[in-house]
Every structure is written in structure tokens, then in C-alpha cells.
Amino acid sequence: MDENCIFCKLANGVFSTNVVYEDDDFTAFLDASPAAEGHTLIVPKKHVANAFELPDDLGAKVYPVVKKVAARQKEVLGCDGVNVLQNNGPAAGQTVFHFHVHVIPRFDGDGVMKDWDHLELSDDKQKEICDKLKF
């Protein structure tokens, strides 16, 4: 745990929060500044700054928690869908530098999140990018 990290303190119970799920690795709690009612953050108890630093074993455990939280939101809140969002770095909108996943309940027509602008790239440009990204 990083003593200077607010999410470490929230995930490890140093500060109280509205916990909806907890296991040995993660705490899921309601976002203090939600985009929608029920907006939940899934936060590892171990300090990890972002997905680039996320150990594979912890990464393998996070999506089963996402699934549990999303299913519970659908069951209890009756949402029509969910957004699962995870930001890495300031350019991507990360403001708290402790890995976390947002699970945001969505209702048809709620207008909570704007869709991003879609680029129109030529087939040649797409192939060029694909060639660069291939492993």
C-alpha cells in the first residue's frame, strides 16, 4: 500500500466508503463523483499506478469482478447496459494514479457519456498502423 495514495487508503479500509464488493485483491465502491447512479470503481488493494504496471495475475482477476459488479447493477438497478472504462495516463483522462475500473450503469437515452468522434482512415493507413502494431 502506498501511504500517499487515496485509492490505496479507500481500497484498504483506511477511509470509509460505500463498498459494494470486496475480496482479497479488490474493493469495489461507489464513485464519489458519479457519472450515473450506481457508478462503481473497482480498485486493487495493492498499489498499481496503471494498466502498464498491472501484474498479469491481478489483471486476470479484475474482469471477473467487473462481471459481478455489472450483473449486480443490472439486477438491482435495472440498467439497460454498462460502460466499463479504464484510463491510463493524463492524456487518457486518468486523474488518480492508482489502477481502477469504472463500471457505469447506463439507461437508454440517459445521455451520460458522449460517443467519441470516429476517424475515417483509408485502408492503406489502417494497414500501415496494423503493421506497426503487430507483435
Catalytic residues: 100
Query: Greatest CA span in the chain, whole angstroms?
Result: 53
Taking CA 46 as the corner, what is the angle to CA 41 and CA 52, rounded to the nearest 5 degrees?
80
For residue 54, the 8-state DSSP code is -
8 Å CB contact between 107 and 46:
no
- Report helix, strand or coil for 93: coil
Contact by Cβ (8 Å): 59, 78: no
State the Cα–Cα distance between residues 88 and 118, nearest whole angstrom: 20
Task: Name the nearest CA neighbour of 71 among 58, 81, 61, 62.
Answer: 81
